[in-house]
Structure 1
Amino acid sequence: MKTEVDYIVVGLGLAGINFVEKLQQTGKSFIVFDTGENYSSWVSGGLYNPVILKRLTLSWNAADQLERALPVYERIEKRLGKSFDLRIPVHKKFQSYEDLNNWVVACDKPHLKPYLNPTTISEAPQGVKVPFGMGQVLNTGKIDTSALMQAYAEDLFDRGLLFKERLDYDQLELDSGVNYKGITAKRIVFAEGFGLKQNPFFDSSKLKGNKGELLIIDVPDLKLDFVLKTDVFIIPLGGTRFSVGATYNWEDKTLEPTKEGRQKLLKALEKLIDLDYQVLEHRVGIRPTTADRRPLVGVHPKYTQMALLNGLGTRGVMIGPTVAHQLYEHLENGESLPQEIDIKRFYRN
């Protein structure tokens, strides 16, 4: 039996979910192909934090991205009847008195005032080492990305909208639209993350990717109800479980955990806590990142029925809803894409 839809979407990570959510919101029909191999999700803390804590600057378009992102996740929660959004504070550990003073100065900057609490914190839970204190970032939280992707995939699969298989590029037929094994669509959107490296239609050379490693630990005596951030983060996962991460490696693109990555994380962890712990898991993922730290969004230069939504990097939770909206408006209503995310920036003459 032949199927006609508006869109075929390839990939159901954060990029794919946010684009599909836009399709559902606007009544467009679609089919999704996804293998479940969302490698970047394995090292995603799922945090939405508008401040780059190392430099005490706002991340790219942070305010606009948060304003669009949070209602999207709230709508998904209501439809699926599950909770993914945990409003949890983020605390930065001060490394020195100079670090603390820099925080105080930053709190007076108009663009940072909504996001930095000027009242610093001197006390910490037992076993947490913060001799110079901490600062609290406001308007932060955590999306449980693993639970979100699992629930979203289950919902689509139950409705017959998800094929849990790898798309065979050789079976794609292109005319005025797209034909694939009896499915006819007006457009196809590739949201494959680092899987773009196997896509023959798009130049993936601008997708650099970086490998991240993350540990899941058990710390029975750690009472932490906030995210603690310094060189790494510690994120509460419930009970006595916490995630510690993550590393960044631009050279190694394997999915094998490394001794070096583990040691680096444990060394950073032991600077943060003085408690007994047990390592439960060592996770590895490849983040879809670009050299200029901006997403890859837009239409194929030759096949206009093909589009790309990729390169969300380390802040996919915040960036995803905005760029998905921008791509949709570009495809459906002819709105121009911002030059900084448009893939044309890499192939202009």
Structure 2
Amino acid sequence: MLDYLIVGCGLSGMALAEKLRQRGRSFKVVDQGGSGASQVAAGLYNPVVLKRLNPIWEAHRQMATSPGFYQELEKRLGIHAVHRVPILRLLHNPAEQNAWFEGAASTKLQAFLDPQLETVQNGSIKAPMGFGKVLGTGWVDTSLLLNAFAEWLLGQGHLLRERFEHDALQPEDNSGGASWSYRELKVRNIIFCEGFGLKANPYFNYLPLQGTKGEYLTIHAPELQEQHIIKSSVFLIPLGNHRYRVGATYSWNDFEATPTAAARKELQEKLERFLTCGYTIEGQTAGIRPTVPDRRPLVGKHPEKPGLYVMNGMGSRGVLIAPFAADELLQHIENGATLPPEMDILRFPGYF
């Protein structure tokens, strides 16, 4: 008898599995591997919507939970996946400078924005109006972390490397505490963390999950010598060894996780608005983000099927949201705590 079966091992599935390990619960994870959205994510954690200078939803709670979660996890796995790096928002005119000063002085943003502007220190970056610095930010090497976590799961016998077959899931009569069976497994609770694959889930495909394709480049730029994350119309993330990640694009019409020439051209044009040194492109990566119309996660229990839950729709901020959402969902399942209404799937009753 298992307490939990988790379907999918991206950021959501990993966060849930690690929280269950901490709680001493029995669980298995079903994941066929491959390059899902979490594997190809840029991995930024940033509490501010820099285009509009607003804090993200539940910014303080997410920042209090998530960075520490990843730091503890990387230590346990014996890897270095978390990089604490300030984000410098490139400012284009005096109006943007004034907006930054106002934001840094506001109650909602003062914990996240440095009130002192940064002057340009890099001759390869065109920034005559300087930068605003976001505090407490960084990035997580999601591919490294997810692969290391999957290896740990395999070593513990927790991971089934296979495609989940929804037809093999059968309800139980709750004898012995089991709600469902999956092949030979008897399970109390099943949590679906399938990303964009939720569209094929017969239990939760009624939810308004959308796909947003994102692409980024990996470049080699020895002259750049930049240690900060630069944000303009694209992010520029230092990876080490003169390599940088440039991204990302947003496409709502293309659901093929393959790189495109159009995205490459768009990213290069935006990058070259502020980058003045030469570079070479080493790679281009694409993935489909699971997004929701109201830009909030999809978390909660099935309206008619006891024991079935979903945690999905993390969008482009999954690094920050996933550990926070995992805590909320497990508190809901095990202690009867009320889910935040902004993430609870009950906010979409008309879709069922």
Q: TM-score, normalised by structure 2?
A: 0.95
Q: CA deviation at 1:287?
A: 0.5
Q: Give 2:158's aligned amino acid.
A: L
Provide the rounded CA distance (Å) in 2 between the counterparts of 1:266 and 1:70: 30
Corresponding residue of 2:199: 197
Q: Secondary structure at the match of 2:293?
A: coil
Q: Secondary structure at the match of 1:283?
A: strand
* 8 Å CA contact retained: 2:3, 2:188: yes
Corresponding residue of 2:10: 13
1:94-105 to structure 2, matched below 5 A, reads 94-105=91-102
Provide the rounded CA distance (Å) in 2 between the counterparts of 1:131 and 1:41: 35
Consecutive unaligned residues of structure 2, counting only runs of 5 or more, are: none
Provide the rounded CA distance (Å) in 2 between the counterparts of 1:304 and 1:41: 28
Consecutive unaligned residues of structure 1, counting only runs of 5 or more, are: none
1:1-349 to structure 2, matched below 5 A, reads 4-175=1-172, 176=174, 177-347=179-349
* 8 Å CA contact retained: 2:211, 2:252: yes
Of residues 254-263 and 36-45 in structure 1, the stretch that sits farther from structure 2 once superposed is 36-45
Q: Secondary structure at the match of 1:106?
A: helix
Q: How many residues align?
A: 346
Provide the rounded CA distance (Å) in 2 between the counterparts of 1:164 and 1:139: 36
Q: CA deviation at 1:43?
A: 4.3
Q: Deviations over 1:81-138 (max 9, x none)?
A: 2222111010000011211121122221122111111111222312111121111111
Q: Secondary structure at the match of 1:318?
A: helix
Q: Secondary structure at the match of 2:291?
A: coil
* Aligned-pair identity (%): 42
Provide the rounded CA distance (Å) in 2 between the counterparts of 1:156 and 1:187: 19
Q: TM-score, normalised by structure 1?
A: 0.96
Q: CA RMSD in A?
A: 1.3
* 8 Å CA contact retained: 1:43, 1:246: no
Q: Deviations over 1:291-335 (max 9, x none)?
A: 000000111112111100000111111111111111111111111
Q: CA deviation at 1:37?
A: 2.9
* 8 Å CA contact retained: 1:12, 1:38: no
* 8 Å CA contact retained: 2:11, 2:322: yes
Q: Secondary structure at the match of 1:255?
A: coil
Provide the rounded CA distance (Å) in 2 between the counterparts of 1:36 and 1:103: 42
* 8 Å CA contact retained: 1:88, 1:141: yes
Q: Secondary structure at the match of 1:209?
A: strand
Q: Secondary structure at the match of 2:38?
A: helix
Of residues 246-255 and 290-299 in structure 1, the stretch that sits farther from structure 2 once superposed is 246-255
* 8 Å CA contact retained: 2:207, 2:348: no
Provide the rounded CA distance (Å) in 2 between the counterparts of 1:340 and 1:168: 30
Provide the rounded CA distance (Å) in 1 between the counterparts of 2:215 and 2:66: 26
42 and 8 in structure 1: CA distance in 2 versus 1, 3 angstrom threshold: closer
Q: Secondary structure at the match of 2:239?
A: strand
Q: Secondary structure at the match of 1:41?
A: coil
